[in-house]
Chains A and B, each alone.
Chain A
């Protein structure tokens, strides 16, 4: 009987610890793409909704964003300032940012 009770105690403690660790992993540390995407909001506004004449990013097709950013990076697509930013991004970062903003609701 005592042994069974200790086992239950242990089970509860480890279950709680597991729930905790999952919650912590999900909620508490911002990912690379989240931090990088948040840099875009300075000009593109909250949630990437656009600001004045600066276009929106949220709700765009992922392919539209990658096409623009790769275009800015290569210089094939003319820009005022985006070429100077896109130049610094790796191809992987461009794909991940496009996926992030493509997945946001308008």
Chain B
């Protein structure tokens, strides 16, 4: 009766795209392609690490590679606590062991030098060439040194930005420690849009926290490119309570913008603010998408990457998605939490598309906690939904203006909980 022998049976399985020599039946990674789909994620920060992690969680048959130059990732969130001496750099330093061991992600520590969009291949500095079916680019930010005369990567060793955490954070911390009592720290925030909009306020607060304890005659001068706002008013109220007379605020928006820096004199100059001299100068330069996004032709004139907010697919290049600070996800702010959310939604959309499904309507949530002291925090939250393909805010806002000190303390504790939660979530820790 056996008219179908083993060889014929295997041939038939092959006809529907599933052959396994050992076990007979396996599920292909991508049903459409009939083989394991390869997804490469470039950048292992809040967007990229999360996306790689969730790609594997949503479809364990995917072949996921994460490319990140650094073996350790130092987070910008909570880096202001390192400046203030509240936390060590180890607290904000993470590795990729969880993604490797718990999620089986191929993590390669290298730099992408070019992306061949037509051939769907990318080249690494180490010489390796990787092909992909889908590419996710999460490159964070790069600095625009042309905007402020006298600013440069080299000069950031004298006037640190500390807006990418790590060596720059430690350098600014060292400068603060070396400053004499009675000195002045200048913080100049960049033109919008930039990474973590309320973070200059948190930085001013926590530097004042450190100075109040260690160098109480010192001052902080914040040249604020964002100008006046409801959020600023809440910070100023906190400063009044916690650091009376220590933080001076200057409107650095529009005509107040800083236009030149003199590293020799440690001074900054703006049209309306004149020349401001400090003992420590934290100059945060204007920003744009990370360099590889420009190289790959993913940025538009604004310097950022236009995407379809439904799945974060690039509007400029096929089969490439851009997430995190680099993409235009307005009205979501550029924050770690936003990047984390985008990483998850992008992963879900890619898996759904590769398997021929329809992406359900979901919410996009974000928050950013700002510490004014170890026991006083404010938060900003946002929930967004797609309406006609564009994100619209459904809910959110700032902490209760009239909240008690007890509530501010609770938010400070939640800030730490948030940090632990999101870093476990993105790095695949269990």
Q: How far is the CB of A71 from chain B (nearest CB, A)?
A: 15
Q: How far is the CB of B371 from chain A (nearest CB, A)?
A: 14
Using CB atoms, name the residue of chain A closest to B353.
A29
Q: How far is the CB of A17 from chain B (nearest CB, A)?
A: 5
- Interface segment, one of B197-205, B284-292, B339-347: B339-347
Using CB atoms, name the residue of chain A closest to B98.
A46
Q: How far is the CB of B287 from chain A (nearest CB, A)?
A: 24
Contact among B4, B362, B416 for A8, CB-based, below 8 A? B4
**Contacts of A53 on B, CB cut-off 8 Å?**
410, 413-414, 416-417
**Contacts of A5 on B, CB cut-off 8 Å?**
3-4
Within 8 A of A (CB), among B117-144: none
A51 CA to B17 CA in the complex, in Å? 44
User: Is B81 an interface residue, CB under 8 A from the partner?
Assistant: no
Is the beta-carbon distance between A24 and B355 smaller than 8 angstroms? yes
| Known pairs A31-B360, A80-B379, A89-B363; A42 contacts B4 (CB<8 A) | no
User: Is A84 an interface residue, CB under 8 A from the partner?
Assistant: yes
B350-376 interface code vs A (CB 8 A; 1 in, 0 out) = 011011010011110101000000000
B299-328 interface code vs A (CB 8 A; 1 in, 0 out) = 000000000000000000000000000000
- Interface segment, one of B84-92, B164-172, B274-282, B418-426: B418-426
Is the beta-carbon distance between B429 and A16 smaller than 8 angstroms? no
User: Is B145 an interface residue, CB under 8 A from the partner?
Assistant: no
Is the beta-carbon distance between B352 and A29 smaller than 8 angstroms? yes
**Contacts of A52 on B, CB cut-off 8 Å?**
413-414, 416-417, 420-421
User: Is B146 an interface residue, CB under 8 A from the partner?
Assistant: no
| Known pairs A20-B27, A31-B360, A54-B417; A42 contacts B381 (CB<8 A) | no
A8 CA to B396 CA in the complex, in Å? 61
A4-25 interface code vs B (CB 8 A; 1 in, 0 out) = 1100110011001101100110
Is the beta-carbon distance between A80 and B425 smaller than 8 angstroms? no
Is the beta-carbon distance between B12 and A35 smaller than 8 angstroms? no
Is the beta-carbon distance between B362 and A88 smaller than 8 angstroms? no
A45 CA to B352 CA in the complex, in Å? 24
| Known pairs A12-B9, A45-B420; A54 contacts B414 (CB<8 A) | yes
Is the beta-carbon distance between B411 and A80 smaller than 8 angstroms? yes
Within 8 A of B (CB), among A32-86: 32, 35-36, 38-39, 41-47, 51-54, 80-81, 84-86
Q: How far is the CB of A44 from chain B (nearest CB, A)?
A: 6
Given contacts A30-B58, A52-B413, A53-B413, 18 further A-B contacts (CB under 8 A): A16-B12, A20-B27, A23-B27, A27-B59, A29-B351, A30-B352, A35-B344, A38-B344, A39-B344, A42-B337, A42-B365, A46-B429, A52-B420, A54-B417, A80-B379, A81-B411, A88-B385, A88-B395
**Which 9 A-B pairs give the minimum distances between C-beta atoms?**
A52-B417, A51-B421, A88-B395, A32-B360, A88-B383, A54-B417, A87-B395, A29-B357, A88-B394
Residues of B that sit less than 8 Å from A by CB: 3-4, 8-9, 12-13, 15-18, 25, 27, 31, 54, 58-61, 337, 340-341, 344-345, 348, 351-352, 354-355, 357, 360-363, 365, 367, 379, 381, 383, 385, 394-397, 399-400, 403, 407, 410-411, 413-414, 416-418, 420-422, 424-425, 429-430
Residues of A that sit less than 8 Å from B by CB: 1, 4-5, 8-9, 12-13, 16-17, 19-20, 23-24, 27-32, 35-36, 38-39, 41-47, 51-54, 80-81, 84-89, 93
